[in-house]
Structure 1
Amino acid sequence: MFVNGLKWMFLIIGTTIGAGYASGREIWQFFGHESGLAIVLFTFLFCASCHVVLSISYTHQTDDYAAVLAELLGPRLSKGYDIIIIFYLFTTTGVMVAGGGAALEYFHVPFLAGVLFMCALLLIVAVKGVKGLTSVNSVLIPVLIISLGITLFSFFWLHANVADIDWKNQHNWPSAFTFTSLNLLPLVAVLSAAGKQIRHRGEIWIASIGSGVILGGVSFLYNESLLVAAEDIMLYEIPLFALLKSYPDYMTIFMALLLWTAIFTTAASGLFGLSSRLYSVVRMPMWALAFVLLCLMLPLTQFGFAQLIAFLYPLYGFLNLYLLIVVLIHPFYLKKRL
């Protein structure tokens, strides 16, 4: 039970920590000044949301998110959110593929070669299905979390101070809801496909609480570190590099590889969630479906990474506030219905 719980925990973290999160762009977009309380609220909201989605998926033994949406929103409204999720997964996975190619340019790999390399690895994971996805996350995510956590903690230890945080003025607390609702979309898409793989409810508790606490802690360290380097962030496409400017070159190289890992895990989760949903509509091999989707995503590689995050992420966060509310009240509604 414990091992399987950790497996789902890594899947959740791998789905959430993408290029936007790992680069710091997503953290800076939603949090920033006066956000300590917002990050604490996000931790609780995230734990609760993961638990509800996994519980529904386990109860109904789902293999795609259509049944979970129908349970939460009803048959009519779920169709609208189905379209939103498909569009979200398609656009963000396309951005991740582009980000993978751009990240490899740091190592003088041509952009197109980097994109094709990313696509080839994604196809391998798609062939393996949910077992391949969880296997990849079980290896990569611990390395990603530990490395990012050490980097942020060392920067925070040298440049920031918890005592300097003004806990009385926390006016940015509403961002906790939009940030959680943004990350709810990929969670619903990916975790809904895991219903038949969960063997015990204890796995759900381990995955939900573990992922929420880890992401909350990393988000707090990241945000406070970015506040210290706030004047330099505007000079960087990737805010993380603003924190690394005083570090040795080998550290920047290592974190660039780490960033590519975050991009890959998110792209793999997004492609898996999208493929599993469309498989029920288009009956073709998963690898062939994934191949077609990747080909269709290639035009998105022409758009800028920071610009897409600045436009799409707040929009998706706002659109999914209703879904977040429904997820949070679902346990109470279920008890009343029973």
Structure 2
Amino acid sequence: MWRAGLKWNFLIMGTMIGAGYASGREIWQFFGEESGLAIVIFSVLFSLSCYVIMSMSFEQQTSHYIPILEKLVGKKLTYVYDWMIIFYLFTTTVVMIAGGGVALEMFYIPYWLGIAFISILLILLFCWDTEGMLSINSLLLPLLITGLAFVLIVFAKSSENPFVFHWDEQSNWPSAFTFTALNILPLVAVLAAVGKEIKHRGEILIASIGSGLALGMISFLYNESLLHIASEIVLYEIPLFAILKQFPYSMLIFMSILLWAAIYTTAASGIFGLISRFRKLLKAPAWIIAGLFVLFMLPLTKFGFSTLISFLYPLYGLVNLYMLASILLYPFSKRYSS
């Protein structure tokens, strides 16, 4: 049970920790000053959301997200949210592919070549279908989380001003709801696709609580670190590099590789969600469906990584608030209706 729970935990975090999050750009976009309480609220909301979605998927033994949407928002709104999820998965995967190009630029690899590299690896991954997705997450996510936590803790210790939680200065707490809402649609898409593979409710508890706690702690450390270099962030496409400039060059290379891995796993999660939705319609092997989607995504990567994040992510965070509310209220509405 623990092993399976950790497998789903890594799947959740692989969906969440992508180019925007691991680079620090997404953290800075939503949090910043007076956001300690916001991060605590986010951690709780995220765990509850994961638990509800996984429980629904387990109960209905789902292989895609349509049955979950019908339960959450009703059949009429399901059509709207279906297209919203498709659009979300498509555009955010474009963001990941663009981020993959940016991350490799520090190794003097041209942007277009980096994009071609991550695109080819995404297609190859789905030669192994779902097992490929789960295996790559179980391999890369522990390394990413450990590496990111190590860098942030070392940076915190070397900082002149310690990280302190000021309860009386928490005006940014509403951002917890938009930040959680931002990540709801991919969670619904990805977790609904594995409902048939969940064997025990204990797996759901391990995955939902574990992912919420881990993301909450890393988010707090990351946000506090970025606050210490706030004046320099504007100079960097990827804020993590502003933190890493104080580290040896070998650490910069190592974390750049892990950042690229985070981008890759989230892009894979987006493609996985799209494949699960269109598998019956297209009736083709997963790698061919993945190739078709990647082919359509490539022209959009020219807009750039930070531009896509700054425009799309706040917009998604706002439109997904209704979905977040539906998920959090579902256990109560289910009990009332029964």
Query: Do the aligned residues in 1 keep the contact of 2:129 with 2:287 (CA within 8 Å)?
Result: no
Give the drift of 1:283: 2.3
Matched, 1:292 2:292: yes
Other-structure match for 1:109: 109
Aligned partner letter, 2:46:
F
Secondary structure of 2:121 counterpart: helix
- Identity across the alignment (%): 57
Other-structure match for 1:63: 63
- Identify which range, 238-247 or 29-38, moves more after superposition: 238-247
Give the drift of 1:111: 2.7
- Deviation track 1:42-79 (CA, whole Å, cap 9, x = no partner) reads 01000000000000111111111111111111111011
Whole-Å separation in 2 of the counterparts to 1:238 and 1:316 = 21
Matched, 1:44 2:44: yes
Give the drift of 1:20: 0.2
Matched, 1:171 2:171: yes
Whole-Å separation in 1 of the counterparts to 2:88 and 2:253 = 30
Give the drift of 1:125: 1.8
Matched, 1:318 2:318: yes
Whole-Å separation in 2 of the counterparts to 1:285 and 1:131 = 14
Whole-Å separation in 1 of the counterparts to 2:281 and 2:175 = 36
Alignment RMSD, CA only?
A: 1.0
Task: Give every structure 1 segment of 4 or more consecutive aligned residues whose post-TM-superposition deviation is greater than 6 Å.
Answer: none
Other-structure match for 2:124: 124
Give the drift of 1:221: 0.2
Q: TM-score, normalised by structure 1?
A: 0.97
- Deviation track 1:147-174 (CA, whole Å, cap 9, x = no partner) reads 00000111112214234x3211201000
Whole-Å separation in 2 of the counterparts to 1:93 and 1:276 = 15
**Count of residues paired in the alignment:** 337
Whole-Å separation in 2 of the counterparts to 1:127 and 1:261 = 19
Aligned partner letter, 1:243:
I
Other-structure match for 1:263: 263
Other-structure match for 1:161: 162
Other-structure match for 2:33: 33
Other-structure match for 1:77: 77
- Deviation track 1:4-62 (CA, whole Å, cap 9, x = no partner) reads 00000000001000000000000000000000000000010000000000001111111
5+ residue gaps, structure 2: none
Whole-Å separation in 1 of the counterparts to 2:307 and 2:111 = 18
Query: Do the aligned residues in 1 keep the contact of 2:18 with 2:262 (CA within 8 Å)?
Result: yes
Whole-Å separation in 1 of the counterparts to 2:28 and 2:136 = 28
Secondary structure of 1:74 counterpart: helix
Whole-Å separation in 2 of the counterparts to 1:197 and 1:181 = 25
Other-structure match for 1:193: 193
Aligned partner letter, 1:175:
S
- Deviation track 1:111-168 (CA, whole Å, cap 9, x = no partner) reads 33322221221112222122111110001000000000000111112214234x3211
Matched, 1:246 2:267: no
Q: Counterparts in 2 of 1:201-212, with a 5 A limit?
A: 201-212=201-212
Query: Do the aligned residues in 1 keep the contact of 2:95 with 2:309 (CA within 8 Å)?
Result: no
Whole-Å separation in 1 of the counterparts to 2:297 and 2:129 = 20
Give the drift of 1:194: 0.6
Q: TM-score, normalised by structure 2?
A: 0.97
Whole-Å separation in 1 of the counterparts to 2:134 and 2:11 = 6
Aligned partner letter, 1:110:
P
- Deviation track 1:160-203 (CA, whole Å, cap 9, x = no partner) reads 4234x321120100000000000111111111101011010100
Aligned partner letter, 2:2:
F
Whole-Å separation in 1 of the counterparts to 2:85 and 2:125 = 21
Aligned partner letter, 1:38:
A
Aligned partner letter, 1:226:
L
